[in-house]
């Protein structure tokens, strides 16, 4: 993947000035499926982003940035994604759109904002897109949500599906364990993915399933699959950025930690605290002298 913009790190809290570049589009993401099948396309790269600075840093490397409702736990310390609101999603999605120039920004529809009816889903999705400028929404569910996926897609709202382990249903599922260990459950997940793909979803996230399910879905649906705890054979992968960066000591089995952000932050905070207490900080270098 080639990108051409440079981040203006001098204005780390403002919009970076970008060289002209074209943002990837939803059709280009959908078309990646055929390119991957033909051996001419790379797997799709998606990471979560909730803030402008993280978006700035990850955007050049990602095809998609997901403003996931996982922000409930990661940013707000909530026990699950269930309490996350539309307003929270809209505010973070707007920040991520401001911080990105290349990736397709997808925003999660939070629990309770779309399940009641296709009309409710349309109003919530339109609100999220108007408030943030995100290009697409993601919603959880399969067969039961297919009419909603069709309703939104037919009205110009690109929808990413999400099947398998669907965290908004944690109270019904009883936990976050991998799904699809029985044949009946495996068949249901495959049916769910097919239903949302056939209803018009432009891509489908497959989360936390035993691997053959992810492979079967990837081999049979016409749109890209994006795996998380699924299979290397999916058409792309997604992780929660803070998990991947090592901000948390404990991560699920499917997460690879590419760094130790928790250790990095804790060590620097400790060093800073020691220097403040010993009056080693600030020095003349960080102090304004009279003119
Ligand atoms: O909310 C989220 O971050 C997600 C990803 C884990 C797929 O839905």
Share of the chain above pLDDT 70, in %: 93
Composition of the chain by helix, strand, coil, percent to 5: 45, 15, 45
Q: What is the chain's mean pLDDT, rounded?
A: 94
Q: Say how far apart CA 1 and CA 59 lie, in whole Å.
A: 12
Q: What is the pLDDT of residues 215-227, one digit of tens each?
A: 999 999 999 999 9
pLDDT tens readout for residues 116-154: 999 999 999 999 999 999 999 999 999 999 999 999 999
What is the rounded distance in angstroms from the CA atom of residue 206 to the CA atom of residue 208? 7
pLDDT band at 3 (very low <50, low <70, confident <90, very high): very low
| For residues 60-85, average pLDDT | 98
Task: Say if ligand 1 is within 6 A of residue 238 CB.
Answer: yes
CA of 69 to the centre of ligand 1 (A): 6
Atom 8 (ligand 1) nearest CA: 68
Q: What is the model's pLDDT at position 16?
A: 52
**Residue 166: its pLDDT value, please?**
97
- 21 confidence band (pLDDT: 50, 70, 90): low
What confidence tier does 22 reach under pLDDT thresholds 50, 70, 90? confident
> Binding site for Mg(2+): which residues?
69, 108, 140
Separation CA 58–CA 103 (nearest Å)? 9
Regarding the beta carbon of 48 and ligand 1, being less than 6 Å apart is answered: yes
pLDDT-derived band at 2, boundaries 50, 70, 90 = very low
Residues recognised as catalytic: 207
pLDDT at position 18, please? 52
Q: Is 47 helix (H, G, I), strand (E, B) or coil?
A: strand
Q: Check if 107 has its Cβ closer than 6 Å to any atom of ligand 1.
A: no
Query: Tens of pLDDT along 153-162?
Result: 999 999 999 9
Q: Ligand 1 within 6 A of 218 CB?
A: no
Atom of ligand 1 nearest to the CA of 205: 7
* Residue 3 or residue 155, greater confidence: 155
- Ligand 1 centre distance from Cα of residue 22 (Å): 25
Q: Rounded CA gap, 180 and 196, in Å? A: 18
Residue 164 has pLDDT above 90, yes or no: yes
Has residue 11 got a pLDDT over 60? no
Annotated binding-site positions = 69-70, 108, 138, 140
Q: How confident is the model at residue 250 (pLDDT cuts 50, 70, 90)?
A: confident
The per-residue pLDDT for 15 is 53
Domains assigned to the chain: 26-286 (3.20.20.60)
Which residue has the least CA distance to atom 5 on ligand 1? 68
């Amino acid at each position: 993947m080639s990108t051409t913009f440079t981040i203006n790190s001098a204005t780390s809290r403002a919009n970076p000035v970008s060289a002209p570049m074209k943002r990837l589009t939803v059709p280009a993401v959908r078309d990646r499926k055929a390119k991957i099948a033909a051996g001419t396309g790379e797997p799709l790269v998606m990471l979560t982003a909730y803030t402008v600075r993280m978006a700035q840093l990850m955007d050049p490397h990602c095809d998609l940035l997901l403003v996931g409702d996982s922000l409930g736990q990661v940013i707000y310390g909530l026990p699950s994604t269930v309490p996350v609101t539309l307003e929270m999603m809209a505010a973070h999605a707007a920040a991520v759109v401001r911080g990105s120039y290349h990736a397709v920004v997808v925003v999660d529809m939070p629990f309770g904002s779309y399940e009641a009816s296709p009309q409710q889903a349309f109003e919530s999705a339109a609100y999220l897109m108007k408030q943030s400028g995100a290009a697409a929404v993601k919603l959880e569910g399969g067969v039961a949500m297919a009419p909603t996926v069709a309703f939104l897609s037919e009205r110009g709202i690109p929808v990413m599906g999400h099947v398998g382990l669907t965290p908004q249903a944690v109270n019904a599922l009883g936990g976050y364990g991998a799904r699809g260990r029985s044949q009946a459950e495996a068949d249901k997940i495959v049916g769910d993915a097919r239903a949302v793909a056939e209803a018009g979803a432009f891509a489908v996230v497959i989360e936390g399933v035993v691997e053959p399910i992810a492979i079967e879905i990837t081999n049979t649906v016409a749109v890209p699959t994006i795996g998380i705890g699924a299979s290397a054979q999916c058409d792309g992968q997604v992780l929660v950025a803070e998990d991947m960066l090592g901000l948390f000591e404990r991560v699920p089995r499917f997460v690879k930690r590419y760094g130790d952000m928790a250790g990095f932050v804790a060590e620097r905070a400790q060093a800073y605290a020691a220097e403040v207490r010993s009056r080693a900080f600030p020095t003349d270098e960080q102090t304004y002298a009279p003119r």
